[in-house]
Chains A and B, each alone.
Chain A
Amino acid sequence: MRRGHFRFQISDCRLRNYGNRMTRVIIAACIMCGLASGVPLYRDTLPNGLAIVSYVDHRLPMTDIAFVCRSGSASDPEGKWGLANGTVTLMTRGTKTMTADSVASIVEFLGAQFNGYAGNDNSMISLRVLAKDLVTGLDLLTDAVRNPSFEAKEVERARAQGLAGVREMSDDPMARVMVDFYQTLFPGHPYAHQTIGDTVSLMKITREDLVAFHKDHYVPNNCFIVAVGDFDRPELLKMIQARFGDMTRGDVPEVKAPDMPFPGKLRVKLIYRPDMNQTYVMFGHPGIAYSDSDRLATNLAAYILGGGALASRIGDAVREEAGLAYEVRTVFDQDRLRGAFWAWVQTAKPKEAIAIMFREIEKMQKDGAKKNELDDAQNYFAGSYPIRFSSNQGKLYEAVNIEIYQLGLDWADKYPGKIRALTLDEVNRAARERLHPGQYVMVVMGNVKKEDLGLSDVEWIE
Chain B
Amino acid sequence: MLRTSIFGLALWSLVMAEPVDDFESRVTEFKLANGLPVLVYTDSSAPVVTVAVAYKVGSNYEPAGKTGLSHMLEHMTFQHSDIYKPGEFFRIIHANGGVNNGFTSGPYTAYFEVFSREKWELGMKIEASRMGRCVFLDSDFSSEHQVVAEEQRLSENSPSSVFWTQLNAAALLAHPARNPTVGWADDVAHFTTDAVRDWYRHYYSPSNALLVVAGDIRPDEVRAKAEQYFGKYKAQPVSLPDFYNAEPKQVGERRLVVHRVVTQPSLAIAYHAPGILDSAFCAAVVAGGVLGQGRGSRLYQRLVVDSGLATSASAYSETGRDPGLFWVSVTPKAESLIPRIERVVYAEIGRLGREPITDRELQRVKNQVIADYIYSRDAIMWMAIILGSYQLTQGSWREFKLYPEKIGRVTAAEVQSFCRGFLTADNRTVGTLLPIAQEEK
Scan residues 16-67 of chain B and give those whose CB is less than 8 A from a CB of chain A: 16, 19, 43-48
When the two chains form their complex, are residues A171 and B263 in contact, meaning their CB atoms are under 8 A apart?
Answer: yes
Cβ–Cβ contact B150 & A324, under 8 A: yes
Check A139 against B150 for contact (C-beta < 8 Å): no
Tell me the chain A residues, 229-248 only, with Cβ under 8 Å from chain B: 230, 242-243, 246
User: In the complex, A14 Cα to B52 Cα: how many Å?
Assistant: 47
Partner of B154, one of A143, A168, A346: A346
- Cα A104 to Cα B305 with chains together (Å): 12
How far in angstroms is the closest Cβ of chain A from B277?
A: 25
Closest residue to B161 on the A side, CB-wise? A172
Contact B215 A390 (CB under 8 A): yes
Tell me which residues across on chain B come within 8 A of A133, comparing CB atoms: 9
Judged by a CB distance under 8 angstroms, whether B192 is at the interface is no
Given A111-B372, A376-B95, check contact A171 B261 (CB 8 Å): yes
Contact A108 B47 (CB under 8 A): no
The residue of chain A having its C-beta at the shortest distance from the C-beta of B92 within the complex is A311
Task: Give complex CA distance A98, B93 in Å.
Answer: 51
Asked whether, in the complex, the Cβ of B379 is within 8 Å of the Cβ of A320, the reply is no
The digit string for A429-451, where 1 denotes a CB below 8 A from any CB of B, is: 00000000000000000000000
What residues of A have a CB within 8 angstroms of the CB of B441 in the complex? 272
- Asked whether A222 is an interface residue with its Cβ less than 8 Å from the other chain, the reply is no
Is the CB of A459 closer than 8 A to any CB of chain B? no
Q: Does A425 contact B (CB under 8 A)?
A: no
- The reply to whether the CB of B219 lies closer than 8 angstroms to some CB of chain A is no
Given known pairs A278-B157, A320-B86, A347-B150, the reply for A379 and B368 (CB within 8 Å) is: no
A260 adjacent to chain B (CB < 8 Å) = no
Contact check, A170 vs B45: say whether CB atoms are below 8 A apart. Answer: no
- Tell yes or no: A211 within 8 A of B by CB: no
The yes or no answer to B8 lying at the interface (CB within 8 A) is yes
Q: Which listed segment binds B: A65-73, A157-165, A361-369? A: A157-165
- A280 to B98: give the CA distance in the assembly, Å: 30
Partner of A143, one of B2, B44, B45, B439: B2
Residues from chain A with Cβ under 8 Å of B154 in the complex: 278, 326-327, 346
Q: Which residues of A contact B295 (CB under 8 A)?
A: 100-101, 104, 108
A110 touches B94 (CB 8 A): no
Binds A, one of B111-119, B166-174, B234-242, B393-401: B111-119
Pair B440/A164 contact, Cβ less than 8 Å: no
Known: A109-B360, A142-B2, A311-B91. A62 touches B378 (CB 8 A): yes
A residues 347-381 with Cβ under 8 Å of B? 347-348, 375-377, 379-380
> A199 CB to closest chain B CB, in angstroms?
9
Given known contacts A57-B45, A171-B262, A277-B153, A387 and B147 CB-to-CB distance under 8 angstroms? no
Q: Mark A381-405, 1 if CB is under 8 A from B, else 0.
A: 0111111011111100000000000
CB of B150 within 8 A of CB of A390, answer no
Contacts of A136 in B (CB 8 A): 6-7, 9
Cα distance A326–B72 when bound, in Å?
12
What's the tally of chain A residues with a CB closer than 8 Å to chain B? 99
Instruction: Answer whether residue B331 sits at the interface, using C-beta atoms and an 8 A cutoff.
Output: yes
Chain A contacts of B149 at CB under 8 A? 348
Distance (whole angstroms) from the CB of A382 to the closest CB of chain B? 7
A11 sits at the interface (CB 8 A): no
Which of B123-131, B138-146, B204-212, B220-228 participates in binding chain A? Answer: B138-146
Q: Are A130 and B94 in contact (CB under 8 A)?
A: no
Complex interface: chain B residues within 8 A of A327 (CB): 154
Residues in B whose Cβ lies below 8 Å from that of A188 = none
A132 CB-CB contact with B under 8 Å = yes
B296 at the interface (CB under 8 A from A): yes
Shortest Cβ gap from B274 to chain A (Å): 24
Convert B100-116 into 0s and 1s, putting 1 for each residue whose CB lies closer than 8 angstroms to a CB of A: 00000000000000111
Q: Does A4 contact B117, Cβ atoms closer than 8 Å?
A: yes
**With A109-B364, A160-B308, A164-B312 as given contacts, are A323 and B146 in contact (CB-CB < 8 Å)?**
yes
Is there an interface contact between B146 and A131, defined as CB atoms closer than 8 Å? no
Cβ-closest chain B residue relative to A164: B311
Q: Restricting to A86-115, which residues have a CB under 8 Å from any CB of B?
A: 97-98, 100-101, 104-113
In this complex, how many residues of chain B approach chain A with their Cβ under 8 Å: the count is: 94
Instruction: Convert B366-379 into 0s and 1s, putting 1 for each residue whose CB lies closer than 8 angstroms to a CB of A.
Output: 01111110110111
Cα distance A289–B374 in the bound complex, in angstroms? 38
Query: Are A390 and B294 in contact, with the CB atoms below 8 A?
Result: no
Among B2, B46, B261, the residue within 8 A (CB) of A389 is B46
Rounded to whole angstroms, the CA-CA distance of A382 and B98 in the bound complex is 10
**Interface pair B12/A135, CB less than 8 Å apart:** yes
Task: State in angstroms the CA–CA spacing of A98 and B6 once bound together.
Answer: 10
Chain A contacts of B338 at CB under 8 A?
none
A interface footprint on B338-374 (CB within 8 Å = 1, 0 otherwise): 0000000000000000000000100110011111101
The smallest C-beta distance from B341 to any residue of chain A, in angstroms, reads: 13
Q: Give Cα A9–Cα B87 distance, bound, in whole angstroms.
A: 41
Chain B's nearest CB lies how many Å from the CB of A345?
10
**Closest beta carbon of chain B to A258's beta carbon, Å:** 30
Q: Which chain B residues numbered 76 to 105 have a C-beta less than 8 Å away from chain A?
A: 78, 86-87, 89-91, 93-99
A323 and B145 form a contact (CB under 8 A):
yes
B119 and chain A: residue at smallest CB distance: A383
Residue of B nearest to A174 (CB): B158
Tell me whether A379 and B43 are in contact in the complex, defined as CB-CB below 8 angstroms, given that A131-B16, A135-B12, A164-B333 are known contacts.
no
B residues in contact with A110, CB < 8 Å: 367, 371
Q: Tell me which residues from 193 to 240 in chain A have a Cβ below 8 Å from any Cβ of chain B.
A: 230
B74 at the interface (CB under 8 A from A): no
A375 touches B151 (CB 8 A): no
Residues of B within 8 A of A143 (CB): 2
Can you list 12 A-B contacts with CB-CB less than 8 angstroms, sorted by A residue number? A4-B117, A60-B377, A60-B378, A62-B374, A106-B6, A128-B375, A132-B9, A323-B147, A348-B150, A383-B115, A391-B379, A394-B379
Besides A60-B19, A346-B154, 19 more A-B contacts (Cβ < 8 Å) are A3-B216, A59-B45, A60-B374, A62-B375, A97-B2, A108-B293, A108-B364, A109-B367, A131-B19, A146-B1, A174-B158, A242-B3, A278-B153, A311-B93, A320-B143, A348-B150, A387-B46, A390-B114, A390-B379
